[in-house]
Amino acid sequence: MAAEKNEIKLIGAWNSPFVMRPRIALNLKGVAYEMLQETDGKKSDLLLKSNPVYKKIPVLIHNGKPICESMIIVEYIDETWSSDRASILPSDSYDRAIARFWTAFVDDKIPNTNRKLRTLTKESEETEVEAEKLTAALQSLEEAFQKCSKGKIFFGGDDIGYLDIAFGSHLAWIKAVEKIVEIKFLDKKKIPSLVAWSERFCAHGAVKEVMPEADKLVEFIKARLSASSAK
């Protein structure tokens, strides 16, 4: 049951895939919240107070109580507003375990490879190595989608679920990396089911307003690299 009083704040940044996760979950549940934007390269006093262990975004503050780590926040949102909308986590215990397994796979394979690729160029010697890692991860997720979706349109079935949120939050950065290194990762010929899913995910009402544009992410990276090289 949702609490009668609900003061909800989310500490984050517009470009963070991990911040996207609770934003999508809150949108799916129809929960209003206040977004508190962190400044790049700085950590606010509120963030340091709310997450003294990791000192990282996102942090959800619900009636003064902080909850940290993106997918823990998603589960908290799902449980707290369980009667408001459909469940984000699968109802079947086995399906929940599988969704959590593939979420762990996403967090192990996608973010670090993306971070490396967005600092490289098409000509870099490292680019081919990292590109192969990302391509292999996406191929595994293509196969996972075919099994987890059970013939439906999302990993979670008829609507966005736990694994959709976990992986979908990285789509904008994958598209940005495509532009930076000039390699097509979301290739319809290689991963047709995943590309079709990504289009449905990005067009979903809970996602559209919080999904950053790839071009803006590219500009962000270029500005950050330029500032770093000027030091």
10-residue averages of pLDDT along the chain (231 residues): 73 98 97 96 96 98 98 97 88 97 98 94 91 98 96 96 98 97 97 98 97 97 84 63
The predicted pLDDT at position 4 comes to 55
Domain boundary among 80, 111, 132: 80
Q: Is omega for the bond preceding 22 within 30 degrees of 0, making it cis? A: no
Which residues, in sequence order, are CB contacts of 93 under 8 Å at separation 6+?
none
Q: Which of 67, 7, 15, 12 is nearest to 213 (CA)?
A: 15
Q: What is the pTM of this model?
A: 0.95
Q: Within this chain, do residues 13 and 60 fall inside the same structural domain, yes or no?
A: yes
Q: Does the residue 213 lie in any domain?
A: yes
Q: Within this chain, do residues 69 and 126 fall inside the same structural domain, yes or no?
A: no
Report the DSSP pairing between strands 8-12 and 34-37.
parallel
Q: Does the residue 88 lie in any domain?
A: no
Q: Within this chain, do residues 53 and 140 fall inside the same structural domain, yes or no?
A: no
**Residue span of the structural domain in which 29 resides:** 8-80
Domain boundary among 80, 114, 144: 80
SS (H, E, C) the chain: CCCCCCCEEEEECCCCHHHHHHHHHHHHHCCCCEEEECCCCCCCHHHHHHCCCCCCCCEEEECCEEEECHHHHHHHHHHHCCCCCCCCCCCCHHHHHHHHHHHHHHHHHHHHHHHHHCCCCCCCHHHHHHHHHHHHHHHHHHHHHHHHCCCCCECCECCCCHHHHHHHCCHHHHHHHHHHHCCCCCCCCCCHHHHHHHHHHHHCCCCCCCCCCHHHHHHHHHHHHHHHHHC
Q: Within this chain, do residues 12 and 56 fall inside the same structural domain, yes or no?
A: yes
**Integer Cα distance of 167 and 123 in angstroms:** 28
How many domains does the chain fold into?
Answer: 2
**Integer Cα distance of 65 and 152 in angstroms:** 37
The predicted pLDDT at position 33 comes to 98
**Integer Cα distance of 121 and 140 in angstroms:** 25
Q: Does the residue 196 lie in any domain?
A: yes
Q: Which of 8, 164, 179, 184 is nearest to 84 (CA)?
A: 8
Q: Does the residue 86 lie in any domain?
A: no
Q: Does the residue 230 lie in any domain?
A: no
Which residues, in sequence order, are CB contacts of 195 under 8 Å at separation 6+?
186, 187, 188
